Structure 1
Amino acid sequence: MSISRNRQRRKNTPPREAHAADDDLLTASAEHTDQAPDVPDDDHDDNQEQPSKPQHTVRPNRMAAMRELCERLMRHVPPELAEMPRWGTWVRLEKDGKPTKVPCTIGGRPMDHHGFDATLPQVVDAVLGCRQVSVDGISYSAQASDRIVFVDFDHVATRPYDIESVRPSVRDVLRNHFGGTYVEWSQSGHGLHVLCRGLKSDWRCRAEIDEHSRVEVYCDQPAVMTGLLIDGHPSQLANCQDGIDACYNLWFPEPAPRETSVVTVDDAAWRGWDRPLTADDDAAIRSIVGNHHPDVAGLWYGERRGDRSLDDFALACLVIHEIGDRDLGRIERIMRASGLRRPKWDERRTVDGIETTWLRMTIVNAARRVRANAAAAEQRRREREAAEARGGGAVEDDRDVAEADDAGQVNGEVPDADIACDGDRPTELLTSASLDEHAVESAGSESGGGDGGDD
């Protein structure tokens, strides 16, 4: 099927009702309507009353199901999303005894989803041009730099494809915050996919809504697309930062305090720094790179911003924010896997009367700054709660806090929450006006002289 034919169908084909067997996209009928599902003639009974709600259909052959999926996606996916080179396919494979959706090439060969480089029309034409379909569906994979967020609501509808059966809190968020952007049903009809423009409000990805439902928020993960557009939602991407923030405010609890250690440059505190990266290290790196502002990914891969000392300090803060400072050797191990690594990290320095390296001195100063900012943030929180309890002088919300901090900056008082180490917005350290001061501190004040920062 050519791209032009796909687009013509997208414009001219009226939607029909989509019906799918739980967690199996290939059993889905083509589109969304109030009519009963189409079934093969030999299974059809003209005298049988047709159901008013979606029912399981007779499983079509794989090519027919894939053709319906492709037509549905071409008709409903926002054009600006369809033309982005972020599309690929997926297959269902057994992994550790459980079915897993694995990103694949068009030919069905597993691959890293970051390698998706085709537009949706290109994937559709390639899939439909194959004699035998070897994939189970089509995926979209955003990158952090795209500033497109995928919100995945799992098991929020008690009845498949029935918006009235969706959890009230989720329905309220959809109505109040995501009404102007693309929202589709999941494969089973019990979940929802939201695609919108914005940035993650937090580094965390998953949270429980209740004992049966959960929400996941991603900016750098593959999304299994169905094209089952929910009635009333447009085929477009809208900026829904308020909706993303609402998800975090509603369902993501405050993180538990991380275990901490005595921050010291004593060699005994740095055991394991030279070991190979572990699976947990890899997971932490993926979280650092994929779940923050795009500048963070650039920093990890070695895109410096002019001041090398400042970049080293910023990366140390990010790693500490992700894993805590209990295992200093692990912090060093992870940092040495980044693109910022350079010979200067091994130069000798003196901190607290102990000879150490440049990198360890930077990590120690970053850890101390993280702790100081966390303590300051906690103190401000307690002061706000006390003011609210007294019934006056309370700062109403985060916007007021930001305005208060801005006012302090204007009046010559530099707020001390700019290093993104106060537990909620780690990427602010990349643009903080006060970070230069901390980088200089890392480079010189505790090193017995130092070199003044940039080199």
Structure 2
Amino acid sequence: MTGALRSGWPPELRRLRTYLPYQLRPRASGRLGKCPSRWAGRQLYPVNPHAAEHHLSFERALELLDAGCCDGIGLILDERVAVLNRLPLAAIDLDDVVSAGAIGAAAATLVGELASYAELSVSGHGLHVIVAGHVPPGARRGRAENLSVELITTGFLAVTGRRWPGTPTDVASRPGELARLQAALCAASPPPLHPGPPPGDHADLLSALLTQRNAPKVQRLLLDGDVSGYASASEAVYAAARLVAWRTRDPAVIEAVLRASPLFRPRWDRRATADGRSWIAHTIRRALDAGTGAT
């Protein structure tokens, strides 16, 4: 992989000190997750990808990969930090669009419109298009033009350097294209399972949450469905669960409030643990085990 990264990675990103190695680790679902890590004492330790003291230069990260110390490297994205042309970086993640060495018409159209560096994902079945530009608040994932799209504006992006043929070698500024894509995701976002505020006592609970010092976070997550500033949509849901747990320790009530929010996605009901718990039940249990407090 280092050969592709050395030859294919955009020159303007090589100067950044925003890289981390990662280790593949099994998730509760059985799939492998890419865990951002630091190398110390001849082994890898998981770290918060936004802890700048652990960030490495591109060359240092490649040295660790060359030495077999990690499974790959990734780039840290932060929508608060200007990187190119006074704009932050963003990645458009397109899952399962590559088959038999080709991409479908809808994916090809979007990649062509973005006209920026694009690479194969680690799996070889997806594409990442990296651009510079701000993304308005709101949906970060969903369907647009029959494509499953995720806009990664803050978080950890595993990179390969395997540039998709015909795409530019550099990263382009595409704020207008990002805004249009995000608007399409917002328009296509599924409605909450229970539209409107939670009924009865749940509405009172939400009102109580909005009187707290961290009310802006409650508003942003539970009413606006804005996940910007979190490493992933999953982390945003976890943060929302912890916010609700400040007022109630009842998992059923927490789940009802979350399901009534714009954060709701059908995938929450998928089995996530060996004992049969759903993803949302597992997330709420994690939030309760972690205790309450602002996140």
**Residue 109 and residue 254 in structure 1: after superposition, are their counterparts in 2 closer, same or farther (change >3 A)?**
closer
- Which of 85, 101, 111 aligns to 1:174? It is 111
Query: What amino acid does structure 2 have at the position aligned with 1:83?
Result: R
For 1:233-244, list aligned pairs within 5 A.
233-244=167-178
* Cα distance in 1 for residues equivalent to 2:205 and 2:36: 43
Count residues with an aligned counterpart: 215
SS in 1 for 2:50: helix
**Residue 274 and residue 249 in structure 1: after superposition, are their counterparts in 2 closer, same or farther (change >3 A)?**
closer
Give the CA deviation at 1:121: 1.2
- Which of 105, 119, 124 aligns to 2:62? It is 124
* Cα distance in 2 for residues equivalent to 1:269 and 1:150: 33
* Cα distance in 2 for residues equivalent to 1:229 and 1:274: 49
Deviations 1:199-228 (A, max 9, x none): 1134222113588x5111011111110110
Residue 154 of structure 1 aligns with which residue? 95
Give the CA deviation at 1:137: 0.7
**Residue 158 and residue 70 in structure 1: after superposition, are their counterparts in 2 closer, same or farther (change >3 A)?**
closer
Which segment drifts farther, 253-262 or 201-210?
253-262
- Which of 183, 190, 197 aligns to 2:132? It is 197
* Cα distance in 2 for residues equivalent to 1:268 and 1:148: 37
SS in 2 for 1:71: helix
* Cα distance in 2 for residues equivalent to 1:232 and 1:273: 50
- Establish whether residue 188 from structure 1 lines up as the match of residue 128 from structure 2: no
* Cα distance in 1 for residues equivalent to 2:80 and 2:205: 39
Residue 7 of structure 2 aligns with which residue? 75
Contact between 1:144 and 1:290, CA under 8 Å: does it hold in 2?
Answer: no
* Cα distance in 1 for residues equivalent to 2:110 and 2:174: 11
Residue 84 of structure 1 aligns with which residue? 16
* Cα distance in 2 for residues equivalent to 1:155 and 1:139: 20
* Cα distance in 2 for residues equivalent to 1:195 and 1:84: 15
Residue 48 of structure 2 aligns with which residue? 112
* Cα distance in 2 for residues equivalent to 1:155 and 1:98: 16
Residue 12 of structure 1 aligns with which residue? none
Give the CA deviation at 1:171: 1.1
Residue 221 of structure 1 aligns with which residue? 155
* Cα distance in 1 for residues equivalent to 2:80 and 2:44: 27
Higher helix share: 1
Contact between 2:117 and 2:129, CA under 8 Å: does it hold in 1?
Answer: yes
SS in 1 for 2:173: coil
Residue 103 of structure 1 aligns with which residue? 36
Question: Between Structure 1 and Structure 2, whose CA radius of gyration is higher?
Answer: 1
- Which of 78, 82, 96 aligns to 1:143? It is 78
Contact between 1:200 and 1:218, CA under 8 Å: does it hold in 2?
Answer: no
- Establish whether residue 287 from structure 1 lines up as the match of residue 227 from structure 2: yes
Contact between 2:18 and 2:75, CA under 8 Å: does it hold in 1?
Answer: yes
* Cα distance in 1 for residues equivalent to 2:182 and 2:172: 18
* Cα distance in 2 for residues equivalent to 1:167 and 1:83: 33
Contact between 1:86 and 1:119, CA under 8 Å: does it hold in 2?
Answer: yes
* Cα distance in 1 for residues equivalent to 2:134 and 2:149: 16
**Residue 108 and residue 94 in structure 1: after superposition, are their counterparts in 2 closer, same or farther (change >3 A)?**
same
SS in 1 for 2:3: helix
**Residue 173 and residue 288 in structure 1: after superposition, are their counterparts in 2 closer, same or farther (change >3 A)?**
closer
- What TM-score do the two structures reach when normalised by structure 1? 0.41
* Cα distance in 1 for residues equivalent to 2:20 and 2:208: 42
Identical columns (%): 18
- Establish whether residue 93 from structure 1 lines up as the match of residue 28 from structure 2: no
Residue 431 of structure 1 aligns with which residue? none
Deviations 1:139-187 (A, max 9, x none): 111112231101100011232x32xxx22122112112x22x2111122
- What TM-score do the two structures reach when normalised by structure 2? 0.61
Give the CA deviation at 1:274: 10
For 1:42-441, list aligned pairs within 5 A.
69-96=1-28, 97-106=30-39, 107-115=43-51, 116-128=54-66, 130=67, 133-146=68-81, 147-159=88-100, 161-162=101-102, 166-176=103-113, 178-179=114-115, 181-208=116-143, 214-252=148-186, 253=188, 256=191, 259-260=196-197, 284=221, 287-290=227-230, 330=244
Deviations 1:336-380 (A, max 9, x none): xxxxxxxxxxxxxxxxxxxxxxxxxxxxxxxxxxxxxxxxxxxxx
* Cα distance in 1 for residues equivalent to 2:149 and 2:205: 41
Give the CA deviation at 1:77: 1.3
| Alpha-carbon RMSD | 3.9
* Cα distance in 2 for residues equivalent to 1:110 and 1:270: 37
Residue 261 of structure 2 aligns with which residue? none
**Residue 284 and residue 254 in structure 1: after superposition, are their counterparts in 2 closer, same or farther (change >3 A)?**
closer
* Cα distance in 1 for residues equivalent to 2:228 and 2:165: 36
* Cα distance in 2 for residues equivalent to 1:268 and 1:174: 44
Contact between 2:89 and 2:133, CA under 8 Å: does it hold in 1?
Answer: yes
